[in-house]
Structure 1
Amino acid sequence: MASAESNAAVPAAPQSAAPAASGIADPGALGLAAFAMTTFVLSFFNAGLINESVENVVLPLAFFYGGIIQLLAGMWEFRRGNTFAATAFASFGGFWLAFAGYSSQVAPHLNPAHAYQATGLFLLAWAIFTGYMCLAALRTSVAVLAVFVTLTVTFVLLTIGAFDQSTSITKAGGWVGLVTAVVAWYASAATVTNNTWKRELLPTWPLA
């Protein structure tokens, strides 16, 4: 699939107010890391920093790390009673699996004259989902909210770039996608570091 297809993908895990189920560790750091790395790699292509002829390097990441690992993180969040993180991780795990399938199995067989419309519609649907998740993220933390806001901007830019067939807008989406990945990596690092040290070393600035 052309590099304009998507950056995204990702869910971010809030600091849940619900108590964790006994024996279930916080899967937020894992889900965020999977999102961040996959988004980082794809965004390099969308931003035009690497030749798109080798873009398929993102497919294994999209399937195994961004897809399966985030889906598992979402299921663990359901077990912990965290509706927001479960919905986000499971959905974006599904996004990356769909992206991998679309890129490798569907896009090559679309009518070249209209393929951009399919890509634009795919991205638009995810922009809508990510946008309304921002509302729920207002009750999480600044770090998580920043992930969703930047991800929404990424999807919107990529959607416009796809429908308008604009390389420059797609590249802008790629750059915002890189910012999104860095923010998500920070949120992941804060979650795993603070949980391991049993105190706040990296702030996430809770909103609730």
Structure 2
Amino acid sequence: MANNVYEIKESSIADPGPLGLACFALTTFVLSVKNAALVPGEALSMIIACALFYGGTAQILAGMWEFKKNNVFGATAFTSYGAFWVSWGFFEIGALLKWFVVPPQAALLFLIAWTIFTFYMWIGSFGTNKALVVVFTLLLVTFILLDLGNHVAAGYCGIVTALAAWYTSAAGIYNTVFGRVVLPVGPCKK
């Protein structure tokens, strides 16, 4: 360029929401199936791998792309829950390798803190769409059940949470690629 001025063009990126929801759904599903005692405990290593790479890393990336799209709700949700999965995976690896012991009170504190976060994100979901309200309502109930120590009931609720998140992810994909509403998500009244 003659005047050494570079023109920066704003790039458009695809909606990262369906990816973030898919990451959240799959990882929630596999852990919830274990919590519901539908698979043996040996499934834990597969669940940890999902948590670290899909639920964690890929979901954090979706959160960063939500920042790029100026979506504060999506950015906060995906980045935070992605970090939840990475930290959960780290705790599980540490326990398996006997690096450290997480006392029950510390595990409960971890869950209660995430319940508080999920509660205010649940309130924020009322400004999005009905499908996300369902996902966050179910997730809040799942965390409360975990806080109460009812892992089997939390597992079943988590499975339903994952199905709702997969539905919402699929809606984001189908409605975009087909250019029409294939799976409705229902706008919230503002």
Percent identical: 47
Give the superposition deviation at 1:159: 1.3
Matches within 5 A, 1:9-88: 22-88=11-77
SS of corresponding position for 1:104:
helix
Choose 1 or 2 for highest CA Rg.
2
Give the superposition deviation at 1:53: 3.0
Instruction: Find the aligned partners of 1:54 and 1:81 in 2 and give their Cα distance.
Output: 38
Post-superposition, which runs of at least 4 consecutive aligned residues in structure 1 deviate over 6 A? none
Partner of 2:174: 193
Alignment TM-score, normalising by the size of structure 2: 0.90
Matches within 5 A, 1:129-144: 129-144=117-132
For residue 113 of structure 2, the aligned residue among 117, 121, 125 is 125
Residue identity in the other structure for 1:36: A
Alignment TM-score, normalising by the size of structure 1: 0.82
Give the superposition deviation at 1:115: 2.0
Residue identity in the other structure for 1:185: W
For residue 80 of structure 2, the aligned residue among 82, 91, 103 is 91
Two-structure CA RMSD over aligned residues (Å): 1.5
Unaligned runs of 5+ in 2: 1-9
For residue 92 of structure 2, the aligned residue among 98, 103, 119 is 103
SS of corresponding position for 1:45:
helix
Instruction: Find the aligned partners of 2:55 and 2:104 in 1 and give their Cα distance.
Output: 24
Contact 2:94-2:100 within 8 A present in 1 as well: no
Give the superposition deviation at 1:139: 0.7
Partner of 2:154: 173
